[in-house]
Amino acid sequence: MSGLADDRTVVERLLHHIDHKTTDLSEASWREPVEHYRSAARLAAELGVLRRHPVVFCPSAALPEPGSYLARDAARTPILAVRGGDGRVRAFRNACRHRGTQVASGAGCEKAFVCPYHGWTYGLDGALRHVPHEHGFLGLDKTSRGLVPVGCVERSGLVFVAQDAPDGALDDVDALPPMLDPSWRLVATQERELRVNWKIFAESFLEGYHIRSTHPQTFFPLQYDNLNVVETFGRNSRVAFPYRAIEKLRARPRDRWSVDGKLTYVYHLFPNVMVATFVANVFVIVLEPLAADATRFVTYALARGDVAMENADVPRGVSLVDAGGAEDRAVCAAIQAGLASGANEYFEFGRFEGAIRHFHRALDAAIDGTPFVAEGPAT
């Protein structure tokens, strides 16, 4: 399913674009109705997609050892993910089987989960292990009252959950390309709630047409404006954003080309997760829709295991991404405010914005329940 080019081929395509002042172009433009960013009914349909499809819950590095857990809402559903004593990650609906109290919050490491209301206790495998004063519950079958599991699989350094997915849905992630190897470690987690539709945020990651205008003092001095390689794999995509330092590769033999420090890859893992690579960091960004005009923005920052925390590249990379992210958020907020103007019946996405076209085509197909057929590669 991945069908992604190797790094050296991507470099060749980028250097060709630099030489010819071109960029990848999609087959056509795309018009997305503005109502799709405002409608509660549309949001409900999108949340259904987030529950039916395997989605990234967190990076594997967020659950580094047995007993490590992470609890948060995903598609408005309280979910608990935990690494068991056998090393396997499992996910459950975060609700006690007695009276529904959430049995965990935030992140940490535990040997068991004890409900704070009445003390019902669950193992790392979700099994109900202990009920205080059990004699008061006539006919209680503890074997059938464990935490309710949801589909969960760990691939490519990421933990995927599938809340209401049909059998076999998690098989889709088996074909994903490698993204995070085990050496990456979690260095920071941040959550923000912003009054912007989640798709407006997603779109901001998927094109380089705005680099000069939006990021004149952050990304543009390091990167190119409107110059990208765009690839798709299944419902997902990858956009390569080259740094000006890529020019240094021209003096090296092709077999010695490395993309480290020469480009950023942004992977869009359908429907609501971005994985962005930088020099010393990788960021996993989860966009959780809260309302038609509100999104929880969950960011996991990772660093290579062989890079010391005192290495200046780590905080420098985080600082750059924070500054650029603030600029993107300001523009996204302005778009959200502009929805109320009534000026636009639809948004016009050009051929430079092919990854956005791909996203909306995949989302429409998932909502309609129709097969998704990817288009040919960008030209």
- Tell me what pLDDT residue 113 has: 98
Q: How far apart are the first and last CA of the chain?
A: 20
Q: Is 3.90.1300.10 the CATH classification of the domain at 55-164? A: no
Tokens linked to 256? 């010695």
Residues (pLDDT < 70) of the chain are 1-2, 167-168, 306-317
CA-to-CA separations, 365 to 271, 331, 342, in angstroms, rounded = 12, 28, 27
Task: Give the residue extent of every domain in the chain.
Answer: 7-52+183-368, 55-164
Tokens linked to 311? 């290495």
CB 152 within 8 A of CB 89: yes
DSSP string, 1-67: ---PPPHHHHHHHHHHHHHHT-----SS-EEEEGGGGT-HHHHHHHHHHHHHS-EEEEEGGGS-STT
- Tell me what pLDDT residue 171 has: 78
- What's 7-52+183-368's CATH class? alpha beta
3-state class of 134 per DSSP?
A: helix
Tokens linked to 286? 């989860």
Q: Which stretches within 88-246 are classed as H helix?
A: 198-204, 211-214
Report pLDDT digits (tens) over 134-184. Answer: 999 999 999 999 999 999 999 999 999 999 977 667 877 888 888 898 889
> Alpha-carbon distance 287 to 204, whole Å?
12
CB 130 within 8 A of CB 137: no
Helix or strand run (H / E) with residue 282 = strand 281-291
Give the chain's mean pLDDT.
Answer: 94
CB 130 within 8 A of CB 111: no
